[in-house]
């Protein structure tokens, strides 16, 4: 859902971008490492702890085997990513290690995790974790986290996709069917505040607000959709398509969220507010390049701490 945070989490433990992470939405699990492991939790801010001590976020943490990791509720944002050195050892399906829940394939047995699930780690996770933590802490003295059960570093990665404002603005391009909506709906979409509905999911974020209407009843043939497409079903409440969106759709498209803002939109939890603002294609390109530069720059700084270009 938030590919930027997934990449940063992997970088924090020295992984490549394509290593599998554990995506955690709104409320997290209790995990038990059966082997020593270097991990990092990055993205939305969660109430997390090692035994009775707060788990430091956005930095590598070397956890001892047998240490319970409690990840509670999200305090800011929606999705966080737990990366482990070497990645989660799940198979590659169609070029990805992710789980596609609607199709029930990929990831860990094609489903969300359940109580008692045992996730395989890299066969050399202990040696890999010890070696990478030694590199990550060589410039700074390592500090304890959770008493003797874990160690961490003093540096951390700043958040890139969490919004600083209570009502963040998401930039949009005109949708293919923008001119089919009545004049009032076009103005309302860009003027009013929208709330993420409780029944939103990985397929789409339903947006609660004023109803949007077409100028005249029109039948739309199914057409390709992409992440960020904002469709308007007959009830007039827009749906912003997200990571698990369908490939085609027949609802009229009022807007397209620019790619640079999609990770920020993904971090808006149910009940959170958003606004939309018109952007040009040049502005969308510039925003995409700026985000890419921020991400690459942050990853370079993280890898400098490891004194390595990734394994």
CB within 8 A of 210, min separation 6: which ones? 188, 192, 236
**Both 136 and 173 in a single domain?**
no
**Both 122 and 199 in a single domain?**
no
* Residue keyed to tokens 């929208």: 194
| pTM across the whole model | 0.92
> Where are the extended beta strands (E) located within the chain?
22-25, 30-32, 37-50, 53-54, 61-63, 68-84, 99-100, 105-106, 143-144, 150-152, 169-174, 194-196, 204-208, 223-224, 229-231, 239-241, 248-249, 253-257, 273-278
**Both 155 and 227 in a single domain?**
no
Whether residue 292 lies inside any domain: the answer is no
Residue 308: pLDDT over 80: no
- Work out the mean pLDDT of the chain and round it to a whole number: 92
Decide if 69 contacts 32 (C-beta within 8 A).
Answer: yes
Decide if 74 contacts 46 (C-beta within 8 A).
Answer: yes
pLDDT at 252: 95
pLDDT > 70 fraction of the chain, expressed in percent and rounded: 95
Whether residue 301 lies inside any domain: the answer is no
Decide if 114 contacts 62 (C-beta within 8 A).
Answer: no
Among candidate residues 180, 310, 190, 207, the one with its CA nearest the CA of residue 265: 207
Cα dihedral across residues 106, 107, 109, 111: positive or negative: negative
* Residue keyed to tokens 């890999």: 128
Q: Which of 69-73, 99-103, 174-178 has the lowest mean pLDDT?
A: 99-103
Q: For 222-226, what is the mean pLDDT?
A: 93
Residue 311: pLDDT over 50: no
Whether residue 11 lies inside any domain: the answer is yes
**Both 147 and 262 in a single domain?**
no
pLDDT at 186: 85
**Both 29 and 129 in a single domain?**
yes
Residue by residue, DSSP assigns 132-154 as HHHHHTSSS--EESSGGGEEE-S
Instruction: Write the pLDDT tens digit of every residue in 174-213.
Output: 999 999 999 899 899 999 999 999 999 999 999 999 999 9
**Both 24 and 67 in a single domain?**
yes
CA gap 231, 252 in Å, rounded: 6
Whether residue 115 lies inside any domain: the answer is yes
Residue 52: pLDDT over 50: yes
Band of residue 307 on the pLDDT scale cut at 50, 70, 90: confident
Instruction: Write the pLDDT tens digit of every residue in 6-39.
Output: 999 999 999 999 999 999 999 999 999 999 999 9
Domain boundary among 160, 179, 211: 160
pLDDT at 146: 53
**Both 197 and 140 in a single domain?**
no
Whether residue 307 lies inside any domain: the answer is no
Question: Could you give the number of structural domains in the chain?
Answer: 2
Band of residue 138 on the pLDDT scale cut at 50, 70, 90: confident
CA gap 76, 26 in Å, rounded: 9
Among candidate residues 229, 19, 33, the one with its CA nearest the CA of residue 119: 33
Residue 108's domain spans which residues?
Answer: 3-160
Q: 287 is written with which tokens?
A: 């925003």
Residue 93 DSSP class:
B
Instruction: Write the pLDDT tens digit of every residue in 228-282.
Output: 999 999 999 999 999 999 999 999 999 999 999 999 999 999 999 999 999 999 9
Whether residue 285 lies inside any domain: the answer is no
**Both 273 and 196 in a single domain?**
yes
Whether residue 311 lies inside any domain: the answer is no
Domain boundary among 160, 187, 206: 160
Band of residue 309 on the pLDDT scale cut at 50, 70, 90: very low
CA gap 62, 37 in Å, rounded: 6
Residue 74: pLDDT over 70: yes
Whether residue 56 lies inside any domain: the answer is yes
**Both 195 and 146 in a single domain?**
no
Among candidate residues 258, 259, 214, the one with its CA nearest the CA of residue 232: 214
What is the CATH classification number for the domain harbouring 222?
2.40.100.10
**Both 154 and 179 in a single domain?**
no
Band of residue 296 on the pLDDT scale cut at 50, 70, 90: very high
**Both 19 and 131 in a single domain?**
yes
**Both 41 and 154 in a single domain?**
yes
Decide if 267 contacts 161 (C-beta within 8 A).
Answer: yes
Domain boundary among 106, 140, 160: 160
């Amino acid at each position: 859902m938030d590919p930027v945070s997934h990449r940063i989490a992997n970088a924090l433990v020295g992984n490549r971008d394509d290593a599998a992470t554990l995506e955690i939405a709104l409320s997290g699990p209790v995990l038990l490492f059966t082997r020593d492991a270097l991990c990092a939790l990055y993205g939305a801010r969660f109430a997390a702890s090692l035994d009775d001590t707060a788990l430091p976020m956005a930095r590598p943490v070397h956890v001892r085997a047998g240490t319970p990791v409690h990840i509670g509720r999200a305090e800011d944002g929606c999705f966080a990513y737990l990366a482990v050195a070497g990645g989660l050892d799940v198979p590659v399906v169609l070029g990805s290690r992710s789980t596609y829940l609607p199709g029930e394939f990929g990831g860990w047995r094609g489903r969300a995790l359940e109580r008692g699930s045992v996730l395989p780690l890299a066969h050399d996770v202990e040696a890999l974790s010890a070696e990478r933590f030694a590199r990550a802490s060589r410039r700074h003295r390592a500090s304890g986290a959770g008493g003797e059960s874990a160690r961490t570093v003093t540096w951390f990665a700043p958040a890139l996709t969490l919004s600083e404002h209570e009502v963040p603005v998401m930039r949009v391009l005109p949708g293919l069917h923008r001119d089919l909506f009545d004049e009032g709906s076009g103005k309302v979409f860009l003027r009013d505040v929208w709330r993420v509905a409780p029944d939103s999911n990985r397929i789409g974020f339903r947006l609660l607000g004023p109803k949007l209407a077409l100028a005249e009843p029109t039948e739309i043939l199914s057409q390709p959709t992409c992440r960020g497409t904002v469709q308007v079903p007959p009830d007039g409440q827009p749906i912003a398509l997200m990571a698990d969106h369908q490939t085609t759709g027949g609802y009229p498209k009022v807007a397209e969220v620019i790619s640079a803002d999609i990770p920020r939109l993904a971090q808006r939890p149910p009940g959170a507010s958003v606004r939309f603002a018109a952007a040009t294609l040049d502005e969308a390109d510039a925003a995409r390049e700026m985000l890419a530069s921020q991400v690459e720059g942050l990853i370079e700084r993280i890898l400098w701490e490891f004194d390595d270009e990734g394994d």
